[in-house]
A and B are shown apart, each in its own frame.
Chain A
Amino acid sequence: MPNKLISIGKAAKLLGVSIDTLRRWDLARRLPSIRSGLRGHRYYRQSDIDQFLQDVHSIAKKWVEDLEGSVPEQEIYCPTRDVFQARLEHFQLELARIAPIDTVSLITAVAGEIGNNSFDHNLGNWPDIGGVLFSYNLQNKSVVLADRGLGILATLKRVLPELNSADEALKVAFTKTVSGRFPETRGNGLKFVRTIIIDNPFTLYFQTGDAYLYLKQDESDVIIQPAKTPIRGCFAIIRL
């Protein structure tokens, strides 16, 4: 029922923001509410929430596509790792209300690896805007992560100088254990992400530069495709 009215509390949960944030967005007409009842409580059309959530994906994509960097909305922006950790834990709690603990554990681990990867590989080297855009939608069960970092090619080229394109780098990142943080002997993060996605009913879209991959359950092949529009850094959508 796309035009069903939902309470501000439910809308806040679906959007992963606080009720105060929704009140501010209402005043700013960013996401207008519908006032109803004698006391004028705020309600939201389901269709408006759906549209807004779709917009968040678009906002994230546009953020990494823009040639010039800008600071995203505070509600979806994690400028430091500490902020990301706090929001990830909040996401974990919210997800636990609608999903079994195994799903919560695995999806939070995937989002945590992708988000922390952005900080690990760009610390001190962010080209313009540092940090990670992190947003989730509990209704259509998706998580978006984006950064305007160096991207996987530049990161891996430090240890594998023979890499020449984003598609080669993306394939290596998801299939071989190699750390872009020389001389650290690590680099399991994206292989871990891949294993979880193909072993569970989840999907992952992951783009870096002008290349992307799409992973889903039981499809172990890593097929890299050219992206329509190149991006700065990395952009990921996880669906559960």
Chain B
Amino acid sequence: MIIRLKKFGNTLVSRTSGKEAWLAFQPTLNGIPDSEDVVVDFSDVVVLTPSWADEFLTPLQEQFGDRAKLQNSDNPSVIATLDILTKNKVVAT
């Protein structure tokens, strides 16, 4: 299935709205068959931050692993967010 992030808004910045999006989307995610990929589409997202992404994309990646794929991620804040999420490791938990 394709998750069109623009359906959650064009300005995806806060931790709380990311968490809310993740919770609200659970029923849809739970209905995805094991054989299907989950494609995250960033079209028309103007602003993305690590705070929002940490609450939505990180658990999505954890849940679906290699089946989670990204597309149309050429917006500069999307690129910067994905870059920092990939690079950084948390040092204190």
Chain A residues with a Cβ under 8 A of chain B: 81, 85, 88-89, 92, 101-102, 104-106, 108-109, 112-113, 116-117, 119-120, 159-160, 176-179, 182-183, 185-189, 191-192, 195-196, 199
Nearest neighbor of A160 in chain B, beta-carbon distance: B92
Q: How far is the CA of A186 from the CA of B83 in the complex (A)?
A: 15
Q: B48 → chain A, closest Cβ, in Å?
A: 7
Residue with the highest number of chain A CB atoms closer than 10 Å, among B17, B50, B54: B50
Q: Does B29 contact A (CB under 8 A)?
A: no
Q: Does B47 contact A (CB under 8 A)?
A: yes
Nearest neighbor of A100 in chain B, beta-carbon distance: B76
Q: Determine if A185 and B90 form an interchain contact, defined as CB atoms under 8 angstroms apart.
A: yes
Q: In the complex, what residues of A have CB within 8 A of residue B84's CB?
A: 188, 191-192, 195
Residue with the highest number of chain B CB atoms closer than 10 Å, among A179, A189, A192: A192
- A177's partner among B16, B80, B89 (CB-CB below 8 A) is B89
Q: In the complex, what residues of A have CB within 8 A of residue B89's CB?
A: 177
Q: B29 → chain A, closest Cβ, in Å?
A: 21
Q: A112 → chain B, closest Cβ, in Å?
A: 3
Query: Taking A177-B89, A185-B90, A196-B80 as contacts, is the C-beta distance between A109 and B16 under 8 angstroms?
Result: no
- A109's partner among B48, B91, B92 (CB-CB below 8 A) is B48
Q: Determine if B46 and A112 form an interchain contact, defined as CB atoms under 8 angstroms apart.
A: no
- A186's partner among B13, B17, B75, B90 (CB-CB below 8 A) is B90
Q: How far is the CA of A192 from the CA of B13 in the complex (A)?
A: 12
Complex A-B, nearest 7 residue pairs according to Cβ-Cβ distance, in ascending order: A112-B13, A109-B77, A188-B50, A177-B88, A105-B77, A108-B47, A116-B14
Q: In the complex, what residues of A have CB within 8 A of residue B73's CB?
A: none
Q: Determine if B80 and A92 form an interchain contact, defined as CB atoms under 8 angstroms apart.
A: no
Query: Taking A85-B11, A179-B92, A192-B84 as contacts, is the C-beta distance between A105 and B50 under 8 angstroms?
Result: no
Q: In the complex, what residues of B have CB within 8 A of residue A81's CB?
A: 14, 16
Query: Taking A109-B77, A109-B80 as contacts, is the C-beta distance between A191 and B88 under 8 angstroms?
Result: yes
Q: Determine if B16 and A92 form an interchain contact, defined as CB atoms under 8 angstroms apart.
A: no
Q: Determine if A106 and B80 form an interchain contact, defined as CB atoms under 8 angstroms apart.
A: yes
Q: Determine if A105 and B76 form an interchain contact, defined as CB atoms under 8 angstroms apart.
A: yes
Q: Determine if A120 and B51 form an interchain contact, defined as CB atoms under 8 angstroms apart.
A: yes
Q: Determine if A178 and B15 form an interchain contact, defined as CB atoms under 8 angstroms apart.
A: no
